[in-house]
Amino acid sequence: MQTQRILMVDDDPRLCGFVSKFLTREGYATEFAFDGNAMQRALANVPFDLIILDLSFPNGEDGITLARDIRTRYDTPLVMLSGRHETVDKIICLEIGADDYLTKPFEPRELLARIRTVLRRARPTPQRSAAPAEKDIILFAGWRLDLGRRELFSPDDEAVVLTSQEFHLLAALVQRAGRVLTRDQILDLIANRHWTPFDRSIDVLIGKLRRKLNDNNRANQIIKTVRGAGYVFTLSPESSH
C-alpha cells in the first residue's frame, strides 16, 4: 500500500516538527510549510492525500483565504487548526469546504483519529465493474446521485462538485427519504464524531447543499426543515433502470 502524504501548514516550527515526527511514526509521509508561499510550492511539486492548515498566521496571511485557494484548485481533504474555540470559526471553516476542525492545544492521538476518519471518508469506493450497479444510482427530480462514484449530476446532466461532507449528507438524506433526521443523527451518520449538541455545522452544510440543488422553492423544498426536530428529504427517490 502506498504511503499517504500529509502537508501541515503552520507558522510554528516546533509544532510542525512534533506533528511531523508523530505522524511519520504512524506511517505517514509528512511535510510542512510555514506560510502560504511555501504551501503553494509544496502543492505544485507533489500530490498530497491530506492538508492540515492553521487558521491564522502572524505575517498577515489568513488561513481562510489559503483554504479558499486550496478549494478552488484541489479536492484534497482539509483539516483546519485554530487556537480559538469560537463556534463561528468552525462554521466558517465548514463553509469554505474544510472536512474537519480541531482547536489547539490538541492531543496527538485526537489529531490522528481525525486524520484517519477524514481519509477514510475520502477514499474512493472500489468499482466492482465498468458499469455501476443500478442500486448505486439514485434519481430524484431529474437529479442523478451516483453513490459508487460519489458524483451528482443536475437535470441538465452537468456534474455538481460536492465536498466529502456534502456528499455524505446528501446520501444520508436520500437513503432515508421521508424520515426526519435530527442534527445529532446526521452528525453520527456523516462524521461519526462527537460534536457539541449546539454545533451549527449541519445547518451550514444543509444551506450549502440547498444552494447546489437550487432548492429555494419553499413550497416544494427537497430538503425540508422540520422545526424543533431536524431535516427530511421530501422526495421519493428511485434507483436507475
> What are the pLDDT digits (tens) for 37-93?
999 999 988 889 999 999 888 777 788 889 988 888 888 899 999 877 677 777 777
Residue 183's pLDDT band (cuts 50, 70, 90): confident
Classify domain 134-239 at the CATH class level.
Answer: mainly alpha
Question: What is the grid cell recorded at 180?
Answer: 426526519
At 191 the pLDDT is 62
Asked if residue 129 has pLDDT above 50, the reply is: no
Residues facing residue 79 across a β-bridge = 52, 100
Averaged pLDDT score across all residues of the chain: 83
At 126 the pLDDT is 46
Asked if residue 179 has pLDDT above 50, the reply is: yes
Question: Percent of the chain having pLDDT more than 70?
Answer: 88
At 16 the pLDDT is 93
Distance CA 235, CA 27 (A): 44
Q: DSSP characters for 18-51?
A: HHHHHHHHTT-EEEEESSHHHHHHHHHHS--SEE
Distance CA 70, CA 207 (A): 21
At 93 the pLDDT is 79
Matching fold, domains 5-122 and 134-239: no
- Is the Cα torsion angle 104, 106, 112, 116 positive or negative in sign? negative
At 194 the pLDDT is 43
Phi, psi at 150, each rounded to 5°: 60, 50
At 27 the pLDDT is 93
**Nearest of 39, 46, 49 to residue 3 by alpha carbon:** 49
Domain boundaries, the chain: 5-122, 134-239
Neighbours of 62 (CB within 10 A): 12
Distance CA 178, CA 231 (A): 10
| Helices and strands in the chain: count of H runs, count of E runs | 8, 12
Distance CA 224, CA 37 (A): 43
Which CATH code of 3.40.50.970, 3.40.50.2300, 3.40.1180.10, 3.10.20.520 fits the domain covering 5-122?
A: 3.40.50.2300
The 3-state DSSP class for residue 238 equals strand
| Cα angle, residue 157 at apex, residues 172 and 159 outer, rounded to 5° | 60
Q: Which residue has the higher pLDDT, 216 or 80?
A: 80
Q: Where would I find the H helices in 150-234?
A: 164-174, 183-190, 201-212
Determine whether 33 is exposed, middle or buried from the number of CB atoms within 10 Å of its CB (0-12, 13-18, 19+).
Answer: buried
